[in-house]
Amino acid sequence: MNVIVVGCGRVGAQLAYRLVQRGHQVTVVDQAATAFDNLPPDFHGRTVEGDVLSQGVLHRAGIERVEGLAAVTNADSLNAVVAHLARTTYGVANVVVRNYDPRWQSLQEAFGLQVVSSSTWAAQRLEELLYGSEIRTVFSAGNGEVEIYELEIPTTWEGHTLQELLFEAQCLPVALTRAGQAVLPAYDTLLKECDVVHASATLEGIQTVHRRLYPQKED
């Protein structure tokens, strides 16, 4: 894959290096030559110095030939403009933008862009960890708005149904594992101690489930 990474801060440098390690062709663009010092010594991609909004700089980066572009500067407005330009003017198929300040996230999303907000995701993940270790996150979609959680059924819930556990929570069952064998559970499935349930939920939904499983933790 041929990719342009716009912005060579810590995130951009790490992304570019990871892509090169996996055999992709990578061009990194930044307006400051010193930013390329963030790249590891064995980075074998191209670097282009200049204003990314300049048509000449984009041409030097080879934007007409790329399959993907990641705009990961610390300027959210610049990320949005560059990404929108890449998609609408140059027809780049896969465009992703970094959200630096959550207050700008809605603007980036208004362009219909794929947005990754490290601040939003990290804040939610830290909040989840503060609630306890009984429920573990195993997959995060988007910026963490919906995640898949793994939870072990305690003794107090043996004989109850999955419906009782998930009733009126923003939570859907994904799988139930019992004695090492996983199945697609029905809502009338009777739970047993040490069952492992994977459920897709919002943070609010999994908090509701946590309160039901471990009411003593809420005291």
The string of pLDDT tens digits covering residues 133-191 is: 667 888 888 778 899 999 999 999 999 999 999 999 999 999 999 988 999 999 999 99
pLDDT at 6: 97
Question: Do 157 and 176 meet the contact criterion of CB atoms below 8 Å apart?
Answer: no
pLDDT at 132: 60
pLDDT at 133: 62
Q: What is the CATH number of the domain that holds 169?
A: 3.30.70.1450
User: Does residue 113 share a domain with residue 212?
Assistant: no
Place of tokens 């939003």: 120
pLDDT at 83: 93
pLDDT at 217: 67
pLDDT at 135: 79
Count of Cβ atoms closer than 10 Å to residue 97 Cβ: 30
Residue that terminates a domain, selected from 118, 135, 158: 118
CA-nearest of 216, 213, 219, 217 to 158 is: 213
Residue that terminates a domain, selected from 73, 88, 118: 118
User: Does residue 11 share a domain with residue 46?
Assistant: yes
pLDDT at 103: 81
User: Does residue 61 share a domain with residue 143?
Assistant: no
pLDDT at 136: 84
pLDDT at 46: 97
Q: Which DSSP category does 2 fall into? A: E
Stretch (H or E) spanning 25: strand 25-30
Show the tokens assigned to 74. 């610390």
Burial class of residue 81, CB neighbours in 10 A (0-12, 13-18, 19+)? middle
Give how many domains the chain has, as a whole number: 2
pLDDT at 144: 80
CA-nearest of 89, 90, 81 to 110 is: 81
- pTM of the predicted protein model: 0.67
pLDDT at 196: 93
User: Does residue 143 share a domain with residue 88?
Assistant: no
For the chain, the first-to-last Cα distance in angstroms comes to 53
User: Does residue 106 share a domain with residue 14?
Assistant: yes
- Which residue positions in the chain have pLDDT lower than 70? 128-129, 131-134, 217-219
What is the length of the chain? 219
Note down the domain range covering 52.
Answer: 2-118
Residue that terminates a domain, selected from 118, 145, 173: 118
Instruction: State how far the Cα of 148 lies from the Cα of 136, in Å rounded to an integer.
Output: 9
